[in-house]
Chains A and B, each alone.
Chain A
Amino acid sequence: MSLTDPAFIKQLDALNLLARRVLKGSLQADRRTERRGTGITFADYAQYQFGDDYRAIDWKIYARTEELLIKLFEVEEDTTVYLLLDCSRSMGGKLDYAKRLAAALGYIGLNGLDRVVVHGMADQLTTIVDSVRGRGQAFRFLRSLEEADVYGEDTDFSACVRSFEARTRKRGVVLVVSDFFFREGYEEGLKLLQWRGHDVFCLQTMAQDDLKCPWLGDLEIECVESGQKERITVREREAKRYEEAVERWNEGLRTECAKRGDGEYDIGCSF
């Protein structure tokens, strides 16, 4: 199904409504942040400090208690949603699912008047959608996303993150959509993203063949990214070891995310 297909867009609309209900309708131009500023929504009181805007002093409280307290308001700002989409060759058939996932998240963001940027990741970072905002940009966003295809050789997540940081000045919500099967690991990349103050969410897409080893016997395995080859004999024992290794790898990702406070979600694919 195409991303610009009316049926798919209809599904995205339904998803948007669902998201609004879940988030209690607060996405409309008022994404709440922990930062305090000059908004209109009262957040808290604080002791007056030198240099604070005296207009924010609550005189009624001063009259009652002779203490200078200022009112704090939530900052109302538009948030940038960064979608880092793994476009390496290992994504193969999973890329469609990954793109649909990115489309759904981006669509919700656009409807919340957030700025949405989509980058592709492989051996280097590419830009798939360059900063769109507002519902009117949804079609452009979807079409650009649909045109994205796999590229590059071996995925270098750290290099892509470094490249992403170099291009990005504003902090935002970073959604990494990938299988997270990076030869060099995912720890350094996630650490960099968190260090820059992004809200990081890892969305892992996996195919059934990634989790299980259905082949037995003499095989010549070939890396889908690098083209490396190796002759092996897979018996039940090797198949089990592989499944355990994949399980350990994914468990490591969950642990890393939990340690850094990042969100981590598994998205399964059934092919």
Chain B
Amino acid sequence: MNWGAPAFLWSTLVLVPLVAVYFIRTRPRRQVVTVFFLWEKILDQKTSRSLFQRLRNLLSLLLVALAFLGAIFALARPTVGEKDDRDLLIVIDRSASMNGGKTSRIELAKKKAESWISGLGGTRRAALATIDTELRYLEHLTDQGKPLKEALKRVEGSDLPLRSDALEELSLLASGEGANVRILWLTDGKHGEVELPEGIERVLVGEVTDNFAITAADLRWQSGDEVRLFVSLASTSEEEKEVDLELVHPETSEVARYFTMKLPPGGQVSESMVVEGLRPGGWEVRIVGEDDLMADNVVPLGLTIPRATRVEVVSETPFFFERVLEAFARADSLFEMVEDGPEMVLAQGVVPDAEVSIIFTPSGESEYWTQVGDELSVGSPEVKIEDHVLVERLDPGLLSFAGARKLEAPRGAVVVLAHPDGSPLLYTVQKDGRRAVVVNLDPAKDDFFLSPWFPVMIHDASVFLTGRENRLRSVFATGEVVGLPGRGEVGRVRRQYGGVGEDLSGESPVLVKNVGHYEVEKGGEVSYFGGGLLSPGESVGGLKGDEGGLEIEPAKGWSLAGWLLFMAVLVVVVEEGLYQRRKVG
């Protein structure tokens, strides 16, 4: 047996005055009686008074002494077995899968943790943390059970998946120099391909039953009023199953599509289909029925009307420019060719009177360039800014920039690619509120019109200038950060789910922390997207590593000190009852 605070054992010396006080306390009252001989007759009839009554006070004293010793031993914090004085870090997995199960696994984990905390009985220090996409400390090392239990009450399951880097952070804690901490991780083991790092003891809670999950989904405007729905399902069942799904409007419960998907044993299946007559806004694709984890049975989806950028072509040879614009309009509804009131002008050789423009083949004098000279030699350009959006999808080494001319960019221009002699080849410029991307090459030369880099260059330049991605995805996985497309201020970000709405901070990017429908207003435009679990690891992830057993189970339930204290109180209460019964009848 080990003692957490052996100094308290000196308190046993107090037993000496305790015995004295007890005898004084139990001394009977003196009572003068006139009919003593009658009392003698009564007492003679009581045969049991002999031995027991003589020993009764001694037995009573023995009980009190035992109770007192119990209390002293409790203060000395005894522990049984091998002494383990390492600090405990109890980490509760609060990832989305922990919400599953008949009794939610997060509740089971909390109960287990509470049992451990109670079992410590102040003999060891413990800390409490939760983990999902990040490691979060709820209570730092303490030997007090109360704050730990209070912190434990605050633990709730999240909609976020478990991230391996959060676990890595834990393992660093365990392997740190001089680390004297035992890390106990309470989890359901559903964390997919995440490897269990060294130094972490995993404790599995709850049982995992068959689960079906939507692991991917998309809702994309196709053309006219046609919308394409894509759904990918996964299953943990070892039998082939048919799963019913529905696409519904969350507010009106209007079912837009009801369909069935056949899942192979333990496998996954995907399906794409056209749905007509959907309104822009939030929609939900749901699995009909119940299973182990309900959070992955619903995926909120956002359907935003695509709005094309109006583009005018100003060129003597507009054919290839127009074909590029038409291709993007068909595929992505990114552009719309107009002849009047454009948002952007695609020009060649001239500077259009437009707010936003992409200008190929600069010539003559302009505020966007000066000192146009001779044609430059053909060669690979120098990359001035490597991670610029204009060259993000380009391979500059494959571009020849044939027909480029020697010129100078105006002050304030951002040169992305330049000729070895210093002349800018690809740069951005901003003058008096007008913006332009200047491409110093002649696309007619070296068959650049036919090069795959030609449409890529136009796409990236237009996205850069208009600040408008071709399309916001219809759904993002929880834990993802969403960069909102478009220029302008972020007005409102609102999440709504299950009839409950909340306003989020109006900043971009938006962190998708919870499952729900997100409505974002930016630059006067309203976009919708959904936040769904979409984590195969959380939904159908298997176990990796050990089976979750503990080599040494931490004390659980009441500590030995707690039991001793309880017994002491019980004995005192019983003895006090007997004493009162003796003393006052």
- Chain A interface (Cβ within 8 Å of chain B)? 90, 92, 179, 181, 183, 207, 209-210, 215-226, 228, 230-236, 238-239, 241-242, 245-246, 249
Contact = CB atoms under 8 A, between A and B. Distances in A.
Interface in B1-45: 26, 28-43, 45
A45 to B, nearest CB: 54
Contacts of A236: 585
Given A217-B584, A218-B583, A236-B585, A242 B38 contact: yes
Given A216-B584, A230-B40, A232-B43, A92 B34 contact: yes
B50 to A, nearest CB: 12
Contacts of B37: 181, 183, 223
Contact of A245 (B26, B41, B46, B49): B41
Interface of B: 26, 28-43, 45-46, 49, 53, 581-585
A242 B30 contact: no
8 tightest A-B CB contacts, nearest first: A216-B585, A223-B36, A218-B28, A90-B34, A217-B583, A217-B584, A183-B37, A220-B28
B32 A222 contact: yes
B486 to A, nearest CB: 90
A246 B42 CA distance: 11
Contacts of A221: 31-33, 36, 39
Given A233-B582, A238-B42, A215 B35 contact: no
B36 A228 contact: yes
B36 A225 contact: yes
A118 B46 CA distance: 42
Contacts of A234: 585
Contacts of A224: 32-34, 36
A222 B30 contact: yes
Contacts of A242: 35, 38-39, 42
Contacts of B29: 215, 217-220
Contacts of A90: 34-35
B441 to A, nearest CB: 113
Given A181-B35, A224-B32, A242-B38, A230 B26 contact: no
Instruction: Count chain B CB atoms within 10 A of each CB in A209, A226, A236, A246 and give the residue with the most.
Output: A209
A215 B31 contact: yes
B56 to A, nearest CB: 8
A220 B31 contact: yes
Contacts of A228: 36
A242 B37 CA distance: 11
A246 B29 CA distance: 23
A230 B39 contact: yes
Contacts of B585: 216-217, 233-236, 239
Contacts of A245: 38, 41-42
Contacts of B40: 230
Contacts of B42: 238, 241-242, 245
Contacts of B34: 90, 92, 179, 181, 207, 209-210, 224-225
B45 A241 contact: yes
Nearest to A249: B38
Nearest to A211: B35
Contacts of A215: 29, 31
Given A207-B34, A218-B29, 19 more contacts: A181-B34, A209-B34, A216-B584, A217-B28, A217-B29, A217-B584, A218-B28, A219-B28, A219-B30, A220-B30, A224-B34, A225-B34, A226-B36, A233-B53, A233-B585, A234-B585, A235-B585, A241-B42, A242-B35
A86 to B, nearest CB: 11
22 contacts: A90-B34, A181-B38, A183-B37, A209-B34, A210-B34, A217-B28, A217-B585, A218-B26, A219-B28, A219-B31, A222-B30, A222-B32, A223-B33, A230-B39, A230-B40, A232-B39, A233-B582, A239-B585, A242-B39, A242-B42, A246-B35, A249-B38
Contacts of B31: 215, 219-222
Contacts of A220: 28-31
Contacts of B583: 217-218
A251 B323 CA distance: 133
B28 A222 contact: no
A235 B31 CA distance: 15
A144 B575 CA distance: 57
A207 B42 CA distance: 20
B538 to A, nearest CB: 69
B368 to A, nearest CB: 110
A216 B39 CA distance: 14
A236 B46 CA distance: 14
Nearest to A206: B34
B167 to A, nearest CB: 67
Nearest to A215: B31
B582 A217 contact: yes
Interface centre among B26, B34, B40, B42 (most CB of A within 10 A): B34
Nearest to A242: B42
Contact of A222 (B33, B38, B45, B53): B33
Contacts of A223: 32-33, 36-37
Nearest to A179: B34
A59 B31 CA distance: 75
A232 B29 CA distance: 10
A230 B38 contact: no
Contacts of B28: 217-220, 231
Contacts of A209: 34
Nearest to B56: A233
Contacts of A179: 34
B70 to A, nearest CB: 26
B55 to A, nearest CB: 13
A79 B195 CA distance: 123
B548 to A, nearest CB: 60
